Structure 1
Amino acid sequence: MICKDRMSMGTDIVNINRIKKIISEKKSRFYDKIFTVKEIEYISNGGHKYTTIAGIFAAKEAISKVLGTGIGSVGWKEIEILHCASGKPYVNLINKGKEKLEELGLDSIEISISHEEDYALAFAIGYRSNNINIKIDDSIKKLLPRRSRDSHKGTYGRVAVIGGSRGMVGAPYLTSMAALRTGTGLVYSIVPKSLENIMSIKLTEVIVKSAEDKNKGYFTKDSLSDILEGIEGMDAIAIGPGIGADKERTYLTEEIINNYKGPIVIDADGINCLSINPDILYKRDQPIIITPHPGELGRFLGISTKEIQENRIYYSKYTSEKYNIIVALKGANTVVASPKNEIYINATGNPGMATAGSGDLLTGIIASFIGQGLIPIDAAKLGVFCHGLAGDLASIYKGEHGVIATDILENIPYSIKKIQE
């Protein structure tokens, strides 16, 4: 199935009396400049009606706006308006027109033409398709949470994201928005108090909470009581995006792990803080998922990134079993390992996802699925699949060189929709 996504629009209105005047003065020159042979044939068969001529003229202008060029770099005759047997107009792009369509990542342009006594109006919409050639196994499809008509925002979980420091507010922003886009009913972003205003401006649908930071711009030991209060009643929490790493933040990370009684997703500097004293994991009986890139897992284990990359499955399993946690080792073919010796190798994703903020999105996606009721290992497997698929969809339209984290974020709903289809 091909699901279309509206990308860009263009419209144009033409005064029919203007067309009458032009044709009365220089009909042949006007026809030769503006219309293709097939268009002239259609106009002729229709009796050279001014309304028809004005409608096709307006449609070409509207389409040039969808292409973002105007008439110029794409010429009049490189935009052709043809008609089905039923009379419905459709677009045929030629040479530079076709090249521009492909450059924009559009699959088609649809048009509507109407007129009344004095004016002809054309409306054009450019579409891209969310069609991507990837097999979605039933094992993934069945993990996706179903939504009931008899539900409310509380039905789909409460997730808190603990993160941010001065200069790094984008990380918790992306994690929080990813959780929302994945389907969480209520998302809370807990940030240092001095960053509360900027996060409140950036986040419209997320509930922003603050923790005392003595105006330092990062979490301190004074932040702990506010954080612990803020995560009460949460179905899942995520910690790490943008928090930074030092003794105070290591202390906070350890205290949150010791005190919160639900599932935790730990990423980025949260993993770096945890690597100072990973033995605290032995004391915890609630699920923890860590989502390291190879460098972070290397620091956690005290070995080189090169060693991790050469033995990705081994070290994912080793870490998972040793510390009784779930590991999602990011990178090409993300590896998910559980303490029960489960291994999942993800097939989605592309090199365009090697961009700042991409990992923050994965943290939010996994936390969201846990908050919606999935067991953590299933949330991790479905999360890395959706994350990679969102990146694949983004790369279709932006190219691997141009993808940024917000492109992946915007495609999370489409990745979920594609699994549903």
Structure 2
Amino acid sequence: MKNKFYTIACGLMMTAFVGAQEVKYTEYDLDNGLHVILHQDNTAPVVTTSVMYHVGGKDRTEGRTGFAHFFEHLLFEGTKNIERGKWFEIVSSNGGKNNANTTQDRTYYYEVFPSNNLELGLWMESERMLHPVIDQKGVDTQQEVVKEEKRLRYDNSPYGQILPVLGKNLFNVHPYKDPNIGYMKDLDAATLEDVIAYNKKYYVPNNAVLVVAGDIEIDKTKQLVKDYFGAIPKGEDIVRNYPKEEPITTQINAKAYDPNIQVPAATIAYRTPGFTERDAYVLEMISTYLSDGKSSKLYKKMVDKQKQALQVGAFNIGQEDYGMYLVFALPVGEVPLETLVTEMEEEVAKVRDELISEKDYQKLQNKFENQFVNSNSSVEGIANSLARYHMLYGDTSLINKEIDIYRSITREEIKEVANKHLKPNQRAVIDYLPGKKAEN
């Protein structure tokens, strides 16, 4: 009884804390279509200035893969008013830090400065949008940088090809079939004209969201945003019409080879709904139930008890149009990959066939409450979340209410969604093996 009251008390405390940490923000559009979100938090003298563009690896034509990631690098080259190679020097010499990253769906740039350098951050991002210098020298330089990154992180990294292999086997016509970083031959073939056209199409204010978060004054920041971004011309409307995939109705069997590994991997992959769909939230809970931590079902069974796997995991890989759901294991010794697949499927089947226990359900809810609190624990994280929820989910307010979606998911719904998306005839079983270099 004492433990029961303790659990209830902890739950009430967590709920109260979540309610108390509501993120307040102001959002509006400039005349050129740039969406602006401002979040004031004066607890520390820092400010994050970020721009997210709705362009990722999937936004390309055949034979020109990897452009979004290439641009992530290229747009640090320099601008009309920032000398080539000086971007990072300007940031660091003014007490700041910056970075960027690209997914299949969006590209994100940000700077973090002491709040007295707010205007510097706005100026730099407006320069990136309005005045990038795109010339042959920059293209040649960044082509080599990106190709070296591809070699380091994918081609020569143990298990670095797993995600591209999943995409290749789960998608036939959608651009997700190709890796976000692209293929070497496409990077080599890119011309200056290709690059200029890509910039003109996607790096426009009406395809972007600007977030300023931290130690700011809202009215003053609004005026600065207008001063630096208001005159940037609006681009053409972007129309996306990617081909739809036919459902997977028969198990796909495949092999892939990685010269950088000695231990093979058994992988089971499913094509799942895009991350805005409610089912994607449920799948996120299922992956946590199966493999988050040493007390999870797969780890306790296959690593601790049966000593079959060195490592095991289940991951819901969220994307805008379709997701990918991966269950994988690395064998101990000579344990066959087929055995690992059988054991993993047994645990997935339990989720399809039985309600998870009330105890496990409450444990899941506690984990997601904790994740939600942590996601909004820094100004940097808040800036990213505000941009992402607006651009990719179409609902900025999810920064405060997404946890309500997880709270509303029932044990019955978990079983229902597993039955809808995680059946054996809907999967790809891929033996990921040591050996010859994968073609790229």
Q: Which has the larger radius of gyration?
A: 1
Q: Which has the higher contact order (CA 8 A, sep 6+)?
A: 2
Normalising by structure 1, report the TM-score: 0.23
TM-score w.r.t. length of structure 2: 0.22
